[in-house]
Amino acid sequence: MSRQCEICGKKVVAGGSIRRRGLAKKLGGVGSRVIARNNRMFRPNVHRMRAVVNGAIKRITVCSSCVQAGKVTKPVKRSFEKAA
């Protein structure tokens, strides 16, 4: 399962985090210095859910922002009552 939204195409993006130490010059210090640089991944909040796609119910991978925006139509709940 790839970590990619099937609606908006949001996917994993590589980036970095920089750790600094020291007080900034404008705050009265001697300046901040870079202590460490770490590579990291920014992962989208992706879920597998059932949705109606072209009239058929399918399992798709969708990010939470698309679900909240209403871009996904969930299938109607089935009733399992006995017919009279």
Residues of the domain holding 48: 13-69
Token output for 60: 């798709």
The reply to whether 50 falls in a domain is: yes
For the chain, what is the domain count? Answer: 1
The reply to whether 17 falls in a domain is: yes
Give the pairing of strands 46-53 and 56-63: antiparallel
Token output for 71: 């871009």
The reply to whether 63 falls in a domain is: yes
Euclidean distance between CA atoms 61 and 2, whole angstroms:
8
List CB contacts of 5: < 8 A, sequence separation 6 or more. 11, 44, 46, 61, 62, 63, 66
Residue 1 has pLDDT above 70, yes or no: no
CA neighbours closer than 13 Å in the CB half-sphere of residue 9: 0
Model confidence over 7-49: pLDDT tens digits?
Answer: 999 999 999 999 999 999 999 999 999 999 999 999 999 999 9
Rounded to two decimals, the pTM is 0.69
The reply to whether 24 falls in a domain is: yes
* Mean pLDDT to the nearest integer, 51-67: 94
The reply to whether 65 falls in a domain is: yes
Given this model, what pLDDT does residue 78 score? 83
